[in-house]
Amino acid sequence: MANTVNALNKKITLEQALSYMEDGMTIMFGGFGGVGNPPSLIEGMLQKGLKNLTLIGNDAGFPHIGVGKLVSEGRVKKLIASHIGSNPVAGKLMTEGKLEVEFSPQGTLAERIRAGGVGLGGILVDSGIGNPFVEKGKEKVIVNGKTFLLETPLTADIAIVCGHTADHFGNLTYNTSARNTNPLVSMAGRVTIAEVDQIVETGALSPEEIVTPGVFVNAVVQSEGVNWKWAWEEK
């Protein structure tokens, strides 16, 4: 990556971004219920025919919204998420044994992603103590007399995130609640690709408004916008 992208100008085309992705990769995505999923990168992944992917992110979107499309089209072999309730296709594939799903409680998942992103070896969480589904296979650690589960960090070959504005260094701002898991995911990719509504000259963003420092971002892609109808929009 360092050889192909200028650290001071990380803007690349969608095609260049897709060239980093291969079948079988682990890809982490930002977003929550489709909001904040990067639409153009996901469309590109579909077009490219990527398959056997392991996806890591909050949820399975909706069948025709966001990452849900990758799941619905059978491109995903494993999903690490907090729920798949909004995507019945994911549930069906899971029941049929065509999709492996690993559930983490939502806040634990966010912290596992953050832990991966910030270089921690694990986190100690008391959520799900006493719950056999959550505890299964996890080491217990006692700190000051209190019991915690050792939850492992998550990282990915590629992290794809959705921002509002990026500058050429990759500094990112977000749009309202589309921020959600994006700042966490942006830190956790070996290669992080940010899709944004607008790209500006480095220096145009105020240091105060930058949420993700560009040092975590390897490449920036101009978004072509959402190409789906939201669940709340009239059909």
Partner 1 sequence: MGLGREIREQIARRAAKEIKAGMVVNLGIGIPTLVADFVPSSVAVMFHAENGVLGTGPSPVKGQENPNLCNAGGFPITAGVGASYFDSATAFAIIRRGKLDMTIMGALQVSKSGDLANWIVPGKRVPGMGGALELAEKAKRVIILMNHTDKYGEPKIVNECSLPLTARGCVDLIITEMAVIEVTSLGLVLKEVFKPFTVEQVMALTEAQLTVESTERS
Residue 117: CB minimum distance to partner 1, A: 10
Q: Is 131 in the site for partner 1 (CB under 8 A)?
A: yes
Q: Is 95 in the site for partner 1 (CB under 8 A)?
A: yes
Residue 113: CB minimum distance to partner 1, A: 8
CA distance 22 to 126: 37
Among 82, 155, 171, 192, binds partner 1 (CB under 8 A): 82
Of 94, 70, 58, nearest to 21 (Cα)? 70
Q: Is 151 in the site for partner 1 (CB under 8 A)?
A: no
Judge contact between 197 and 126, C-beta under 8 A: no
Q: Is 130 in the site for partner 1 (CB under 8 A)?
A: yes
Q: Is 198 in the site for partner 1 (CB under 8 A)?
A: no
Q: Is 200 in the site for partner 1 (CB under 8 A)?
A: no
Residues near partner 1 (CB under 8 A): 32-36, 58-59, 62, 81-86, 91, 94-95, 101, 103, 105-108, 110-111, 113-114, 127-128, 130-134, 174-184, 211, 226, 230-232
